[in-house]
Chains A and B, each alone.
Chain A
Amino acid sequence: MTATTNAPPTSRRSHGEATALPRKRRSLGDLKVAMIFLAPATLGFVVFYIWPTLRGAYLSFTEYSLLQAPNFNGLANYERMVQDSLFWNALVVTVEYVVINIGVQTVLAVGIAMLMYRLTHSITVRAVVLLPYLVANVVVALVWYWMLDFQVGIVNQGLTWLGIDPVAFFGESQWAIPTIAGINVWRHMGYTALLVFAGLQMIPKYVYEAAEVDGSTEWKTFWRITLPLLRPVLVMVLVVTMIGSFQIFDTVAVTTAGGPINATRVIYYYIFERAFTRFDFGYASAMAMVLFAILAVVSLLQLRLLRAKESDLA
């Protein structure tokens, strides 16, 4: 190809050359080309992200049944929410789920990550651990629904064999949420462990060597060195997994559908029901607004309280 440019034929070409020069001559730079490259993504962004965000906020101040145009009703939805015992129940149930799910999952994930880090860096082990995460929530929920069946599920068979009475995992109010939380721990612990594992690999080796020279035991090293140095990573992991955890829906939808009574009617499921079985879109949007606010506050608090950005390594 000849290097000489025989007068660039298209305007795009000429813009292209503008970048090639170390100092851009035109203040607009590659704007025209950029607009072409950004066009599809921007279309999707505006239509399916920005516009629905604004519309969702507006709908939360309306009464809207999908059949007629939204009818502005001020703060009525929010006032109603304060009085709605099912809404408060949904919040309590969701928080219970998040606490169990995130608590157990984080402890197990750190444990698995430590085991892998200390014992083997084998890719096979890591892949096996990740496997459940790649299978759909719905599939995972159904497999456990079968394994935890009251009469013929293998888990209750095992419990009986151990001399323990079978448990109605999905049928009893006090078990339903811990059961669903446990199922999702099974699905996500490996993924979370790999995130923690990546964090462990970022801790420089010399820190451990120094600890060893000082005669620190493994137990002490973990609590005094590994965990504090892992903190920034753990905070990020917690923020991400907790946001996901608040959005629990699939597992509930295919197993208990909110029951028994209201024991598993989590906020996502309640919003879904309001919107799609009662066609109460305004109220559902208002609840989605509140969920949005809760998630924002929770993330900010975590980042603040745990000083995510600072590392003790400096």
Chain B
Amino acid sequence: MRLLSNSRRALSPGRIAAWVSLVVLMLITLFPFYWMLRTALSDNTQLAGHPNSLLPVETTLGAFKRVLGLSTIEEAQAQGGSGASVNFWLYLRNSLIVATVTTVCQVFFSAMAAYAFARLRWPGRDKVFALFLAALMVPPIFTTLPNFVLIKNLGLLNSFAGIILPGAFMTPFAIFFLRQFFLGINRELEEAAMIDGAGHRKIFFGLIIPMSAAPITTLAILTYINSWNDYFWPLLVGQQENVRVLTVALGVFRSQTPQGGPDWAGLMAATLIAALPMIVLFCAFAKKITNSIGFSGIK
């Protein structure tokens, strides 16, 4: 089939139609990103007058200044902001803290567990592993309610610890994912190291981790993105401004925006601030991330 399509049917109408569909789908995928940028660079008071201008209306960085808390209230209101104080620098910092700590801890502890499941021999190992995997079946909302009660009883509401702790130790997926790779590492190297007198700690840090750098990086990127994008849990335990992450802040910003004349430019500038780090991360690791979407996760 592919032989055919590449040569003889190179310009068949069907093939042209297929290309057109693919291009249209990619435009549909990319257009909202452009629209976010176009709106964020516009003057909010002028937006309603030019709803279908493809370029920014009265191009200005005002919206970004406004949501980053860099403009005075008068300036903000002159450009159609609500004047409410928002500080996306702070939320950006909070998101960075939460995503970074969660990723480092979760990947590291999951790697330790995966090592125990993949490279060590002990009675009951496979049963314990099956139990860990079974946790994948439980929908998050089910454990979220009691977890909220726990975090509340520990007095950790509105603290970074409260937001981070439930995800800091492991996820069944992370252990499963890394175990797959650890299983594939040649045992002879490990045995050679042991004959040289290396203990398990040395083997784990000096051999297994360096040899699995690629899958560990992939997992870390995916964990980072998930943690950065998470909304439900931080919404429950991290409402207060000092620990509020970007996603929660966006929800608050949207609910504060007046019904009559919403600050669309500000809102889009804020969404862009929330999305940009992930887009940059993606551009840097596009190949790795794209190739990781396969059946490692579900099969």
Contacts and interface: CB of A to CB of B under 8 A. Distances in A.
19 contacts: A8-B197, A20-B190, A28-B122, A45-B132, A45-B135, A48-B169, A49-B143, A52-B146, A59-B146, A116-B22, A119-B19, A127-B286, A142-B250, A142-B254, A146-B35, A146-B264, A212-B1, A288-B141, A288-B142
A44 interface: yes
Contacts of B150: 47-48, 51-52
A53 B142 contact: yes
A247 B18 contact: no
B116 A38 contact: yes
A140 B278 CA distance: 13
A143 B36 contact: yes
Size category of the B interface is 35 or more
Nearest to B125: A34
A51 B279 contact: no
A88 interface: no
A284 B145 contact: yes
Contacts of A221: 1
A43 to B, nearest CB: 6
A33 B152 CA distance: 34
Contacts of A128: 26, 29-30
B235 to A, nearest CB: 7
Query: How would you classify the secondary structure of chain B's contact residues: helix, strand, loop or mixed?
Result: helix
A10 B199 CA distance: 9
A13 B142 contact: no
A138 B231 contact: yes
A136 B95 CA distance: 12
Contacts of A289: 142
Interface string B180-195: 0000000000110011
Nearest to A135: B275
Given A129-B29, A250-B232, A3 B250 contact: no
Contacts of A194: 290, 293-294
A42 B112 CA distance: 11
B194 A16 contact: yes
A69 B196 CA distance: 58
A32 to B, nearest CB: 9
A40 B139 contact: no
A75 interface: no
In the A-B complex, list the 8 residue pairs whose CB atoms are closest, starting with the nearest: A44-B169, A41-B113, A136-B229, A52-B146, A29-B121, A30-B120, A37-B116, A198-B294
A139 B246 CA distance: 10
B287 interface: yes
A199 B191 CA distance: 37
A31, A151, A161, A243: residue with the most chain B Cβ atoms closer than 10 Å: A31
Interface residues of A, number: 120
A292 interface: yes
Contacts of B281: 134
A130 B283 CA distance: 11
A59 B145 contact: yes
B250 A29 contact: no
Nearest to B54: A154
B140 interface: yes
A190 to B, nearest CB: 7
A53 B137 CA distance: 11
B256 interface: no
A136 B254 contact: no
Interface string B128-162: 10001001011111111111111010000000000
B194 A131 contact: no
A45 B169 contact: yes
A218 B299 contact: no
Contacts of B7: none
B72 interface: no
A142 B39 CA distance: 12
Contact of A52 (B21, B121, B147, B299): B147
A130 to B, nearest CB: 6
Nearest to A27: B123
A17 interface: yes
A228 interface: no
B200 interface: yes
A212 B137 contact: no
Contacts of A191: 293
A292 B142 contact: yes
Contacts of B199: 10, 12-13, 16
B145 A275 contact: yes
A119 B121 contact: no
A234 to B, nearest CB: 12
A103 interface: no
